[in-house]
Structure 1
Amino acid sequence: MLIKKIFNNNVILTEDDKQQEIVVMGRGLAFQKKIRDEIDETKIEKTFTIHSKNVSDKLSQLLEEIPLEHFELSNDIIELAKKELGSQLNESIYLSLTDHIHFALTRIQEGLTIKNALLWEVKKFYKDEYKVAKQAIRMIEERTEIRIPEDESASIALHLFNARQDSVGMEQTMVMTKIVNEIITIVKYHFGITFDEDSMNYSRFITHLRYFAYRIQRGELSHEGGDSLFDQVIKQYPDAYQCTLKVQTYLQSNYNVKMTKDEMVYFMIHIHRVSNREKKA
């Protein structure tokens, strides 16, 4: 196998005999190596095949941004989930879960913990995924020595649940797409920005919106929520708060949906994240 791309000393991209891209991991695999060099296969510890070109491209971008340890954690959690849940998972989980774990660890180290408005619902309705998520949290804590809040178990469980869902009905898909597109339009015009639709920033935001729209369709939005970090996040991200109020007005007018304060916190953080990075681009 020849090196196609080097992410760091321990992670490289290569191809198999069928030109299928493979992420290969191993300590020192790429040390003093360059593109097109032969891989020392005795150093390979893990191999990871991606069949979707879109997922492969975004994963390559993500691996350049995050520590190797975060990807290894995500990969091990996914393998655990496949075993415990007895089912295959959509390949997009390698993007969504890896990014979530990296973002969560970064937030927690910065002292910013977020309440999951669906914690109670997840524990009740997605018991299998939640059980795996609890094991995942213990794994993360053991490897990073970082205390992880229980709310993160719910977030991981939701990622696993979503990855087990092959599809939804066409009517639901159309409504979900409309909700996502309308919210994207609100954010775009509020900040006067144009999104790079091929970027990881945009992909992260779309993932959040799709799941939010999915929950609206299923009537699973939480009807209760405390103040959480609401006041703090408003002060930190006032522009994102004003944009979130516009989204709230749109949802109330069109779907009779009112976000809780905890859900608004999620929106403010995601909106700030995507708009701030696009403005800097």
Structure 2
Amino acid sequence: MIIRQILNNNIALVQRGELDVMVISRGVSFKKKVGDTLTLAEVEKVFVPDSHDVLENYSYLLSHADPLTLDATEQIVKYVEDLEQKKVNDYLYLTLLDHIDYALKRAEKSQFIISPLAWEVRKFYPEQYAMGKRALAIITETTGVEFPESEAISIALHFVNLSNPEIDIEETINAMEVMNNILRIIRVHFQLDFDEGSMNYNRLVTHLQYFIQRISAGEIYKSENEELNKQIRMMYPEAYLCVNKIRIYILDRYDREITQDEETYLMLHINRVTQREEREEQQ
């Protein structure tokens, strides 16, 4: 591999065959100059960008990252690889590096972000959340910078698609936001807090998960049992009013109407969980 550009003592841009790639290793560029050669044995990591723009972005990121940030990133990646028993892709390394670099810059100004998805990540991705907490501990141990535990939520999102590469992290985040907003609509409408450990609450959350998946995928759950729908509306008028608020939110978010059957099952789940909560509050 021929050195084309030295970014710093630890990072170089090299030509490998017909490709321009980035290599990283402690002291890999020390006392080297453009035109010198490197062997694979001399480098720890090789990044193969898939476009010129990506090459420029990652070159800048790697060359400007603090050595402690690079060290923390490498430790986290090794921890994840040991835990998952497989190599992670370069994209995870670079996105983690970018995240940690930005988080440390925010910390200098005491700017800490509280993720609105904290509950959802803990609930649906407990393993990734545990990984996020360990990664946060590694950052603190390496850099000496203390972070609130909420930062582990943001880091955990980087690990969500490790076990299932087909998961689209952006879609996952959107679905969690929609879940959070629907639950908020229900809480505000009925003016109550949920017992998150109750069976009815977990049934509601599970139903909403699949409901959101169907809505976002454009799938239609439809049998049009109009008589049942009418009966449920009459029996549970408050649940019906609440579902109408959810209907408006879904229409605004996805530009899709919910079906009559979706409405029926939402009313049933909402009534079950809210009636239980209201009874317990009155006791």
The alignment's TM-score, normalised by the length of structure 2, stands at: 0.56
For the Cα contact (< 8 Å) 2:81–2:87, is it kept in 1? yes
Q: Name the residue aligned to 2:64.
A: 65
Distance 1:92 1:151 in 2: 23
Q: Name the residue aligned to 2:47.
A: 50
1:148-183 alpha-carbon deviations (Å, 9 max, x no partner): 110111111111113544235xxxx8xxxxxxxxxx
Distance 2:36 2:73 in 1: 28
What SS does the aligned partner of 2:90 have? coil
For the Cα contact (< 8 Å) 1:215–1:221, is it kept in 2? no
Shift of 1:4: 2.4
Distance 1:254 1:21 in 2: 41
* 1:121-200 equivalence runs, <5 A: 121-167=120-166
For the Cα contact (< 8 Å) 1:107–1:113, is it kept in 2? yes
For the Cα contact (< 8 Å) 1:90–1:166, is it kept in 2? no
Distance 1:142 1:59 in 2: 25
What SS does the aligned partner of 2:64 have? coil
Q: Name the residue aligned to 2:7.
A: 7
Q: Name the residue aligned to 1:222.
A: 180
Sequence identity (%): 28
Q: Mind listing any 5+ residue stretches in structure 2 that lack a counterpart?
A: 185-248, 256-283
For the Cα contact (< 8 Å) 1:13–1:24, is it kept in 2? no
The range that moved more, 147-156 or 121-130, is 121-130
Distance 2:32 2:251 in 1: 56
Query: Where in structure 1 do 4 or more consecutive aligned residues deviate above 6 Å?
Result: none
Shift of 1:111: 1.0
The range that moved more, 214-223 or 58-67, is 214-223
Distance 1:254 1:220 in 2: 9
Distance 2:250 2:5 in 1: 44
Q: Mind listing any 5+ residue stretches in structure 1 that lack a counterpart?
A: 174-209, 226-249, 257-281
1:22-77 alpha-carbon deviations (Å, 9 max, x no partner): 513113x33443211234989x4x51123442355432231133223323322321
Distance 1:89 1:164 in 2: 11
Distance 1:135 1:158 in 2: 13
* Residues matched between the structures, number: 190
Distance 1:220 1:91 in 2: 30
Q: Name the residue aligned to 2:29.
A: 30
Shift of 1:117: 1.4
Shift of 1:15: 4.6
1:100-119 alpha-carbon deviations (Å, 9 max, x no partner): 11011110111111101122
Q: Which of structures 1 and 2 has the bigger CA Rg?
A: 2
Q: Name the residue aligned to 1:253.
A: 252
Q: Give the 3 Å change call, closer, same or farther, for CA 47–16 of structure 1 in structure 2.
A: farther
Letter of the aligned partner of 1:58 in structure 2?
N
Distance 2:68 2:122 in 1: 28
Which of structures 1 and 2 has the larger relative contact order (alpha carbons within 8 angstroms, sep 6+)? 1
For the Cα contact (< 8 Å) 1:126–1:161, is it kept in 2? yes
Distance 1:36 1:107 in 2: 38
Distance 2:100 2:174 in 1: 25
Residue 108, structure 1, aligned to residue 107, structure 2 = yes
Q: Give the 3 Å change call, closer, same or farther, for CA 25–90 of structure 1 in structure 2.
A: closer
Shift of 1:129: 1.6
Letter of the aligned partner of 1:3 in structure 2?
I
Distance 1:140 1:214 in 2: 25
Q: Name the residue aligned to 2:21.
A: 21
For the Cα contact (< 8 Å) 2:120–2:176, is it kept in 1? no
Q: Give the 3 Å change call, closer, same or farther, for CA 90–47 of structure 1 in structure 2.
A: closer
What SS does the aligned partner of 1:92 have? helix
What SS does the aligned partner of 1:105 have? helix
Q: Give the 3 Å change call, closer, same or farther, for CA 109–219 of structure 1 in structure 2.
A: closer
